[in-house]
Amino acid sequence: MGESKGGGMPFYYDLKSPDLGPGCILEKQLIQKRTFIEPNTAVALVTIGEKKVILRAVGRGLLAAWHVKAGEPVSMGQTFARMNADGEDIPYGRPYVVAETATTE
């Protein structure tokens, strides 16, 4: 597999918020636009009340765009970012995002 870093990636997939409950706010974008990421990279920090949750991208690719800014609400299934990727790097048949309780910021 070539080491394309986003120049000719012909596919994309959207990072969508899992069901985290009402009142979910995107606190911080952890990855800058146009950054190439590997699987399991933390991309966003969200808060639900006092609880902090890290959202991790499951696939590999180039973070092409943010659709939600820091401080804005995020609802279940809402696209918060878009990834450009080669076809084999898209995590087909799996969620594109996983959530885990943050232990530190």
Token pair recorded at residue 101: 């309780």
- Please report whether residue 19 resides in a domain: yes
| pLDDT in single tens digits along all 105 residues of the chain | 334 444 567 899 999 999 998 999 999 999 999 999 999 999 999 999 999 999 999 999 999 999 999 999 999 999 999 999 998 899 999 999 999 998 865
- Please report whether residue 87 resides in a domain: yes
Strand partners for 84: 12, 62
| Residue 70: domain span | 11-101
CATH number at residue 38: 2.40.50.100
pLDDT of residue 52: 96
- Please report whether residue 96 resides in a domain: yes
- Please report whether residue 4 resides in a domain: no
pTM (two decimals): 0.87
Token pair recorded at residue 102: 């943050």
What's the total number of domains in the chain? 1
- Please report whether residue 3 resides in a domain: no
- Please report whether residue 49 resides in a domain: yes
